[in-house]
Structure 1
Amino acid sequence: MTKVTLVIASLLIIALIAGVGAQQAGLSNASSTNESSNQTTQSTPGNVTDLTNAGDSLAATFQNNESLTNLAPIPSFTADIGLELIGENFTAPMMVTSPDDGTGRLFVVDQIGVAKIVDVNGTELPEPFLDLRDNLVKLDPTYDERGLLSIAFHPNYRNNGKVYAFYSAPLRPEAPEGWSCTNHISEFQVDPDNPNTVNMSSEKVLMYIDKPYENHNGGVLAFGPADGYLYISVGDGGKANDVGNGHTPGIGNAQDLTKIYGKILRIDVDSTATGVTIVQQNQTENQTGGASANRTENPPEPTWTTSAGSLYGIPPDNPFAENQPEILDSYAYKTVPQEIYAYGFRNPAYMAFDASDGNALYVAMAGQNLFESVLIVLNGGNYGWNIREGTHCFDPNAPTAPGESCNSTGLLGEPLIGPIFEGGHDLGIVIVGGDVYRGNTVVGLQGRYIFGYWSDSRTVGNGTLLAATPPAGWAEGALPPTAAGLTPEDNAMWQAQIVNATAQNSDTLGMFLRGFGEDADLDMYVLTSDVGGPDASTSTGKVWKIVPPTIVNPALGAGALEVTPTVEAENQTENQTGTTPVGGGMGAGAKPLSSLSSSDPAENIMEVLALTETGIPFEETPAFGNFTLFTGLLRSTGVAATLEGPGPYTVFAPTDDAFERMDPDIREPILNGSRDSKDIVLYHIVNGSSTLADLKNVSTLRTLQGENLTINATGTVVRVENATIAIPDIMTDNGVIQGIDTVLIPADT
């Protein structure tokens, strides 16, 4: 690293510390009633440049309770490709990669715990290159974000045979009880007698990262082409909104610089040198010191173990390698991990370096309920979560609509860096990141970021491919070495459009889009499956090479995909997908939970309510853990037995927050089994299965308690008596659950 780079990094730290006072004056971190207090008057303290891209004409919008993507096709660019089948019979392929070793082999990473080789002749070798199936935590076959998530070959793999893996192991004994898993970042050595197999006994675990929830792992490993360092993406800990068990109260994990969660890490696997001496963040010592307004009295021990100084080193120009920022009272601990390269991430599930001379680092970050992001990540940058979701303000207490206001800076006064692409959920449920195309097979794609959406349904694969084009005159090589030098022009938003796979004659894939990859020749690959989860009993996973549109692969199966309208390029400031937005017509801007159930759900109302407590697919939704009190009432009053019957029924289920807002003198007798408890529960249930759309066409419904409920629909908002449907259309096999924000009380109780 050059001295100039080190000076710039040092100046960034000075700027961060200098901005503390101004930022804290406009941001209260002490809140006993809200999960976060980051919703303040929008401001840009001092001379800090606004880098959020808020209000940009290419940013996604929120209209009529829907998040909408502003697609902006380039008139001179025809976004057509062909897909050539390269490999199949995988379960849940996550990535494709290839070492620079001259063999031309492709390595396909499967979430269930194996990495397999497809040789230069297109033949899949029978034995896995890496087999971690016995090392993994037990995966949920219907949906899971854990597993073997990535591998990365050492830049000198040809000579040293080192390969690195990010995988989810069972929870280690030192971790907090009841947490989900412990992620391992491990180094392996190839078998010296067999270049197609890893020596499994060679494992060195560089990091242990305990996870409170199964989701938001990050999970990507990548070596920097220019610096040779290993980059590691780590999610915010999981659940939703950056709140909950294991999350720093008030500010979340992603904005807490003393935590490893919600960060991009960078380490030197070829050295053990570190910067200033800092107490290692592991399970051996509590480092919190005195308590504060937001620091819990007895916080848990740090829930990760790192090996800086023994198994790896710290790059000297990491932003906190040689200088520690001021430790705020809102932070959980008293030291900042030296491994941190950038921060403010929710779930950086996709990360890749551009192979051009600029070697920019691109991260696709999964959003919460509304907005998906693609980011260019620089040394020391703060990428906004959970102060913002994409370019928009975020309020963890009301995540189904953008927050009314928020800061454009972080807790230390540093600018929040917005996305170069922001997408809504009209295109699908979650973004799938790719890379900038640098291959020679499809020349028209060169210089464009290729990515997509997983699917618009959790049960039926219907992924979408996209291409984003940088602004005219934008040069990746002109990006500054650190976030301190970033300008709005450097971070300008890109124009995105749908990519058509010509064999399908459609805008969608008709399969779940799981990931992308690149070979040694820089050609790109698309990974798909017909099943949404890592179900080891299935083998629908496929690897496709992106080829010119004139090449049609019969394996794609013409007519297998539903045709959707073509995107028009006339108006670049409005939604142009030509598709029906997911969640259209839903109350309170909530995410569609009907997508969690198939058209023929397998669970009754009580079983689905139980799943909202523990079911992995619900962790990303407002329903997760939100009906605990009402579910308990159903059981204690005996009404649960009715809802386990054939039905159908519509249940207006109050959220836990609805109970919390009640007068305690009314709430406690109800929860403790007063004589009116059963009547109150039955007052929330009606015969028949009424979706949100059905409720807009009725005015009254008779309850099982005997009294009527008044239904009133205004636009997309549906009210039941004085309650609003906030979590709509949770479908079951004997009816539907409508989550409401107020407990209903019959007139005669």
Structure 2
Amino acid sequence: MKSGRILVLLAVLAAAAVIAGCSGNGVSPSPSRAPAPDLTNQDSPEAAGFADGHSLTHLHAPAVPVGLRFVAGGFTAPMQVVSPHDGTGRLFLVDQTGYVKIFFMNGTIRETPFLDLRDRMVRLSPGYDERGLLSIAFHPDYRTNGRVFVYYSAPLRAGADPGWSCTNRLSEFHAGADRADMSSEKVLLEVDKPYQNHNGGTLLFGPDDGYLYLPLGDGGGADNTGPGHTPGTGNAQDISTLLGKVIRIDVNNPGTPYAIPADNPFKTGARPEIFAYGFRNPAYATFDSGGSHRLFIAMAGQRLFESLFIVYKGGAYPWNIREGTHCFDPNDDSRPKDGPCPATSAAGQPLIGPIVELGHDTGNTIVGGVLYRGSLLPGLNGSYVYGTWSDAFGGTGDGTLLVSAPPAGLDLAALPADASALTPAGNAMWTTRVLSVANNGNGRINAFVRGLSGNDDNEVLVLANRAGGPGLAPQDSGEVWEMVPADTPGLVDTTTGTAAPPATAAR
């Protein structure tokens, strides 16, 4: 009798195990689940290192020589240059202090702003501030519909926590020939932020799908912790909030502020606008203007590492589980966390690591760039051109220009659209070199690097100024420079006959 009861009990337990394996959310029992690929690049020889309390970039030699040619100046805190691609040759410079001005590659500037939001923005701190007018994007059919989209920092809206910093606003305006109608503002989305930093902010229309993309920071402060951050996970890993995400929306749906694209990857328990998650401050974004149309995001790090990512639909990115490729401890951000580190998010998705990782030996903040598709510098074709803001927060600025090239044989156009199909080989790290300014005396830009954009010819425009904040004197030191061949005549101060830094060179 006892042996019979034991057999029956074993049979019941076996049946229960089978039922348990087939129930719930439909996920197969763990023994049969294929291991998630390690996409973190934590063991890549191109990853940044850490020694004696410092983060170190794996730079390749030699430096790549380029030149710089002055285009236009007199701005304050240039953030971005955007083209409407309407055949007029007009370029639109976004200044953080709240205005947009039209200029041309011959240096002509139209002094009357195309758009002026200074009376609608939060008051900026002149010494240092990450809020302000952060980007604009022209609708793909702008030539016929005059629609322009704007992302900026407004004062806290009614009902927001009074201790928070601002409400970031995504709005639409309509524009005539050379002026936006400031009375036409239509607010599409507002996101309250606890701190002034980490706003994200590059508005982009997808070249293939026509949807509007917007990367958003994690809410600011430090370490993705503190008031306004989700306890435990932080905002970036919490898909119930827009903070720390790349969102994608459809602004072509009449009668509503926006619609959700049907193939957006997150539905139940998530904000449906989310395209990818796990970002700290994805302040710089660009689509490859070449055939791949890949989305690149440069993300500012916490204390040690700066990152460049290719962004995939449904992707889980590493903040704040990792800072770049390195394990992160929010209780001690002065060094990478020891011991085993998760390669997956809390939801079990593989964390997608950076394709480029910088240490702070090259500068303290990555300033994103463009995937080069121009003709002046054929040796850079298919490489990502960018920089770092400066090596310190004070002084006159000492940014570094950089270029990163993909691994031999990597076909960007062959990479998957969806994160679930990404392989470690597809996410392999790129090689990085310094760009030396050959027509400047010391090979440096000698200014704060504030942004890099492309013009209508896909050439690189470098935005710089000599003041770290958006209001410090000299307030007219913001300039636009075109990256040109290294043998372009030198930048010489005609009053002294000596080499001069770009920010003080003769025009």
1:347 to 268, 281, 293: 281
Name structure 1 gaps, 5 residues minimum: 1-16, 23-44, 273-308, 325-334, 563-749
For 1:428-507, what aligned pairs fall within 5 Å after superposition? 428-460=363-395, 461-507=397-443
1:527 aligns with 2:463: yes
| C-alpha displacement of 1:445 | 1.5
> Cα 1:141–1:20, aligned 2, differ >3 Å: closer, same or farther?
farther
Aligned with residue 509 of structure 1, among 445, 450, 459: 445
> 1:559 Cα shift?
4.0
Q: Provide the rounded CA distance (Å) in 2 between the counterparts of 1:109 and 1:71.
A: 32
By how many angstroms is 1:560 displaced?
A: 4.2
Rounded to whole Å, the distance in 2 between the matches of 1:510 and 1:471 is 31
CA displacement at 1:514 relative to structure 2: 0.3
- The equivalent position to 1:310 in structure 2, one of 249, 256, 263, is 256
- Aligned-partner Cα distance in 2 for 1:214–1:251: 21
**Corresponding position: 1:133 with 2:115:** no
Letter in 1 for 2:96: Q
Alpha-carbon distance in 2 for matches of 1:483, 1:374: 16
Count of aligned residue pairs for this structure pair: 470
1:555 and 1:115 mapped to 2: Cα distance? 30
Match of 2:306 among 358, 368, 372: 372
C-alpha displacement at 1:310, in angstroms?
A: 1.6
SS in 2 for 1:426: helix
Match of 1:163 among 148, 151, 169: 148
1: distance between equivalents of 2:171 and 2:469?
24
Distance 1:20 1:50, change over 3 A: farther
Alpha-carbon deviation of 1:561? 5.5
Q: Which amino acid aligns with 1:372?
A: E
Per the TM alignment, residue 174 of structure 1 is displaced from its structure 2 partner at its CA by: 1.7
Q: Which amino acid in structure 2 is aligned with residue 542 of structure 1?
A: E
Which of 517, 532, 545 aligns to 2:482? It is 545
Give 1:148's aligned residue.
133
CA distance in 1, matches of 2:194, 2:107: 40
1:100-133 Cα offsets, whole Å, 9 max, x none, are 1000111110000001000354210010011001
2:71 touches 2:106 (CA, 8 Å); kept in 1? no
Give the whole-Å Cα distance in 2 for the aligned partners of 1:21 and 1:221. Answer: 42
Structure 2 counterpart SS, 1:458 = coil
8 A contact 1:464–1:507 mirrored in 2:
no
- Does the 8 Å CA contact 2:60/2:433 hold for their aligned counterparts? yes
Structure number with larger C-alpha Rg: 1
Cα deviation 1:478-522 (Å, max 9, x = unaligned): 110100000011100000000011122434311000001111221
Assess if the C-alpha contact under 8 Å between 1:342 and 1:382 holds in 2. Answer: yes
- Pairs within 5 Å for 1:136-535: 136-191=121-176, 195-271=177-253, 310-320=256-266, 323-324=267-268, 335-404=269-338, 405-460=340-395, 461-535=397-471
1:541/1:242 CA distance change after superposition, 3 Å: same
Larger fraction in strand: 2
SS of 1:444 mapped into structure 2: helix
Letter in 2 for 1:215: N
| Structure 1 residue 19: Cα displacement | 7.0
Q: 2:20 is matched with which residue? A: none
Asked if the contact 1:93–1:528 (Cα under 8 Å) also holds between the matched residues in 2, the reply is yes
Cα distance in 2 between the residues matched to 1:214 and 1:20 = 44
The answer (yes or no) to whether the contact 1:259–1:337 under 8 Å persists in 2 is yes
Cα separation, 2, equivalents of 1:118 and 1:254: 37
1:152, distance to aligned residue in structure 2 (A)? 0.6
The RMSD of aligned alpha carbons is: 1.8
Does the 8 Å contact 1:19/1:412 carry over to 2? no
Instruction: Measure how far apart 1:552 and its partner are.
Output: 2.7
AA at the equivalent of 1:177: P
SS of corresponding position for 1:133 = coil
1:21 shift after superposition: 9.4
**Residue matched to 2:41:** 53
Please list, as runs of the form range in 1=range in 2, the aligned pairs for 1:115-130 lying within 5 A after superposition: 115-119=100-104, 121-130=106-115
- Amino acid of the residue matched to residue 345 of structure 1? F
State whether residues 405 and 431 of structure 2, in contact with CA within 8 Å, keep that contact through their aligned partners in structure 1. Answer: yes
Secondary structure at 1:128's aligned position in 2? strand
| CA–CA separation in structure 2 for the residues paired with 1:421 and 1:507 | 23
Written as runs of structure 1 = structure 2, the 5 A alignment for 1:703-722 is none
Once residues 180 and 553 of structure 1 are traced to their aligned partners in structure 2, the CA distance between those partners, rounded to angstroms, is 45
1:103 corresponds to which of 88, 95, 119: 88
Q: Is the 8 A contact 2:491 2:501 kept in 1?
A: no
- TM-score, normalised to structure 1, is 0.61
Whole-angstrom CA distance in 1 between matches of 2:101 and 2:224: 35
Secondary structure of 1:484's aligned partner: helix
Q: 1 or 2, which has the higher helix percentage?
A: 1
The question of whether the paired residues in 1 share the 8 Å contact of 2:47 and 2:356 is answered with yes
Match in the other structure for 2:99: 114
Cα displacement (A) at 1:311: 1.4
After TM superposition, the structure 1 = structure 2 runs for residues 692-711 of structure 1, keeping only pairs within 5 Å, are: none
Counterpart CA distance in 2 for 1:20 and 1:129 is: 57
Q: Is contact 2:440-2:491 (8 Å) kept?
A: no
Three-state SS of the structure 1 residue aligned to 2:112 is coil
Contact 2:114 2:180 in 1 (8 A): yes
Q: Tell me, in whole angstroms, the C-alpha distance in 1 between the residues paired with 2:292 and 2:96.
A: 31
What is the percentage of aligned positions where both structures have the same residue?
52
Q: Aligned equivalents of 1:136 and 1:437: distance in 2?
A: 33
Structure 1 contact 234–348 (Cα < 8 Å) conserved: yes
TM-score (norm 2): 0.90
Whether the aligned pair in 1 keeps the contact of 2:490 and 2:499 (CA below 8 Å) is no
CA-CA distance at 1:556 after TM superposition: 7.6
